[in-house]
């Protein structure tokens, strides 16, 4: 996949914003392994008219999984974990289900959504299929693995994210849990009817997925997340060559058009490209990088039409032949 446009036309963003009813957008292209200027369009608050800025933060949602998967694979490289040994035995006090099949689940299965666990569900969890015998996108799997990582390493998920990514990559407008400083930099989000929703002013401890959470609680934006994409392209995530090859290779088949590596989606038509998306209600994001050409980028939006906006933007900006397949997968992914 290569970029075929020299730059993002502001008129294109204006048209896409109107088409998909997304008030605010930040996006950043990566060309031949070099990130271009971050573009901010529209507003983050329609009542005050406050403009979107390159440093505006969003709930990055499931883009969190890409950083966490990279962390876990680094721990595998360091000999702390194994891809294919069952992980339950490492932290037997962590119980999410009484089903004995949890004793079979491995890191490879969790990171490629092949563990058989549901996305989000009340405890105890019920398996959807035998571990390693299918595909089911699972936030629960990532959250379960987060608890194991924290117990085995004696270090919190928040501290891991800071030490492994935010500080070394200069991701100054990223966080792994909400705090007041994050709230001040956030965009509001909007619902399907275009109504602005109030900014959350507290740590989200609701439901089955409280933060900090390896499946969703990254707060970031296009400028910062593009630095992580560059980390993958230039430094292979600071993983060994063999483990990075595992990360970017199909490990599980989601459908005819999409496979999953270890924490990354892979289009069947072009396995040199890796991608992921984020969806927390009105916060939508999409990121892609071709690991051969170094072309890609990311887009963050504050309205539910942002997923389709991102796909159309990248279909215009690149020669990628897989956007329709990714779109079909996302229709039923969560």
Whether the CB-CB separation of 284 and 307 falls below 8 Å is answered with yes
pLDDT at 176: 98
CA 3 to each of CA 21, 24, 34: distance values in angstroms, whole numbers, following the listed order: 25, 23, 12
Is pLDDT above 80 for 215?
Answer: yes
Torsion 80-157-98-251 (CA) sign: negative
pLDDT at 332: 87
Is pLDDT above 80 for 90?
Answer: yes
Distance of CA 45 to the CA centre of its chain: 24
The full set of domains in the chain, from first to last, is 10-63+178-194+205-332 (3.40.710.10), 68-157 (no CATH)
Is pLDDT above 90 for 59?
Answer: yes
Residue 92 — pLDDT band, cuts 50, 70, 90?
Answer: confident
pLDDT tens digits, 248-307: 999 999 999 999 999 999 999 999 999 999 999 999 999 999 999 999 999 999 999 999
The SS3 of residue 92 is: coil
Give the DSSP per-residue string, 153-212.
HT--HHHHHIIIIITTTT-TT-BSS--HHHHHHBPPEE-TT-PEEPPP-S----TT-PSS
Whether the CB-CB separation of 26 and 225 falls below 8 Å is answered with no
Residues paired with residue 28 on neighbouring β-strands, in sequence order: 298
pLDDT at 244: 98
pLDDT tens digits, 312-330: 999 999 999 999 999 999 9
pLDDT tens digits, 159-191: 999 999 999 999 999 999 999 999 999 999 999
Number of C-alpha atoms within 13 angstroms, CB side, residue 304? Answer: 10
pLDDT at 165: 98
Token representation of residue 291: 């690991």
pTM: 0.97
Is pLDDT above 80 for 334?
Answer: no
pLDDT at 333: 85
Q: What is the mean pLDDT of residues 27-47?
A: 97
């Amino acid at each position: 996949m290569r970029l075929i446009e020299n730059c993002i036309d502001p008129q294109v963003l204006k048209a896409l914003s109107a088409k998909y009813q997304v008030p605010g957008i930040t996006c950043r292209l990566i060309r031949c392994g070099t990130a271009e200027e971050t573009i901010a369009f529209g507003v983050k608050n329609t009542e005050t008219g406050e403009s979107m800025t390159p440093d505006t933060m969003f709930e990055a949602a499931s883009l969190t999984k890409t950083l966490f998967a990279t962390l876990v694979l680094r721990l595998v490289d360091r000999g702390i974990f194994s891809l294919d040994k069952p992980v339950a035995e490492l932290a037997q006090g962590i119980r999410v289900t009484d089903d004995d099949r949890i004793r079979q689940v491995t890191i490879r299965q969790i990171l490629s959504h092949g563990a058989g666990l549901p996305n989000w569900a009340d405890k105890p969890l019920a398996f959807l299929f035998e571990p390693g015998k299918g595909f089911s996108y699972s936030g629960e799997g990532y959250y379960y693995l987060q608890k194991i990582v924290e117990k085995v390493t004696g270090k919190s998920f928040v501290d891991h994210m800071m030490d492994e990514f935010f500080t070394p990559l200069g991701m100054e407008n990223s966080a792994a849990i909400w705090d007041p400083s994050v709230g001040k930099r956030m965009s509001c989000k909007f619902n399907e009817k275009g109504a602005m929703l109030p900014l959350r002013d507290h740590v989200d401890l609701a439901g089955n997925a409280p933060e900090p959470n390896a499946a969703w609680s990254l707060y970031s934006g296009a400028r910062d997340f593009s630095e992580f994409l560059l980390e993958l392209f230039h430094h292979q995530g600071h993983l060994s060559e063999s483990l990075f090859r595992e990360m970017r290779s199909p490990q599980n088949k989601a459908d005819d058009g999409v496979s999953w590596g270890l924490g990354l989606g892979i289009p069947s038509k072009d396995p040199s490209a890796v991608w992921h998306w984020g969806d927390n209600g009105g916060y939508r994001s999409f990121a892609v990088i071709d690991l051969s050409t170094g072309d890609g980028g990311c887009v963050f939006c504050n309205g539910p039409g942002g997923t389709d906006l991102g796909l159309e933007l990248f279909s215009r900006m690149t020669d990628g032949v897989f956007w329709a397949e990714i779109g079909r997968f996302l229709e039923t992914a969560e």
